[in-house]
Amino acid sequence: MTLSILFIPITTFFCSFQAIFWHKFSTNNDPHHKFCDEEWCGYLKAKKNNTNYDHTPHGLPRTVMNEIKPVFDSMCSKQSLMRVVNGSTQNANEAFHSLIWTMSPKHKASSEVTFNIACCLAVSIFNDGYYKLGKTKEKD
Ligand SMILES: [Zn+2]
């Protein structure tokens, strides 16, 4: 049994987070869509189709965006993102451990068998979700 961990290049991850901020930061008079993807960005689609695009419905006020920027820069810096990409994530480990300790609580005495079952179930749930457990039961 192994944990499946998504591998994403750091530059792709970084650009995706930058796209979120700058897309929301954009106004009709000051568009910033260099990190956006034509697949989802209405501005780039409109530009490609030579049509008009209105930023007003999804834009956030600049004062709000200016307050968010330092926190966003800190959380989405390449240094911060390095901790959660290419299999070096702590979040995945913490989520996995949380599943195990939910089924085999640390504060209650449990046998090795109980702990092993909790580990097996956690791997199954972590990799395939709860749906897989239903499929496993159907085979019995
Ligand atoms: Zn955009």
Pair 106, 51 in one domain: no
Domain around 42: 10-82
| pLDDT of the residue at 35 | 92
Cα(78) to centroid(ligand 1), Å: 21
Same domain for 65 and 20? yes
Query: Same domain, yes or no, for 110 and 134?
Result: yes
Same domain, 94 and 69: no
| Last residue of one domain, picked from the residues 57, 82, 107 | 82
- Distance (Å) from CA 32 to ligand 1 centroid: 7
Please check whether residues 14 and 78 belong to one and the same domain.
yes
Between the CA of 74 and the centroid of ligand 1 the distance, in Å, is: 21
In a domain, 5, yes or no: no
Name the amino acid, one letter, at 102. Answer: T
Ligand 1 centre distance from Cα of residue 43 (Å): 6
Q: Whole-angstrom Cα distance, residue 129 to residue 2?
A: 14
Same domain for 23 and 76, yes or no, is yes
Closest CA to 98 of 67, 79, 122: 122
Interval between CA 24 and ligand 1 midpoint (Å):
8
User: Residue 33 Cα, ligand 1 centroid: separation in angstroms?
Assistant: 4
Same domain? 105 vs 70: no
What's this model's pTM, rounded to 2 decimal places? Answer: 0.55
For residues 105 and 75, membership in a common domain is answered with: no
Per-residue pLDDT tens over the stretch 31-89? 999 999 999 999 999 999 999 999 998 888 899 899 888 888 877 777 777 666 655 55
Q: How far, in Å, from the CA of 130 to the mean position of ligand 1? A: 35
Q: Are residues 67 and 22 both part of a single domain? A: yes
What's the gap in Å between 9 CA and the centre of ligand 1?
A: 21
**How many angstroms separate the alpha carbon of residue 80 from the centre of ligand 1?**
23
Tens digits of residue pLDDT in 112-138? 888 888 888 878 777 777 666 666 656
Do residues 23 and 73 both lie within one domain? yes
89 vs 96, residue with greater confidence? 96
- Judgement on whether residues 67 and 21 belong to the same structural domain of the protein: yes
Distance CA 118, CA 102 (A): 9
**Is residue 64, in this structure, part of any structural domain at all?**
yes
**Residue 140 C-alpha to ligand 1 middle, in angstroms?**
51
Sign of torsion over alpha carbons 55, 57, 60, 62: positive
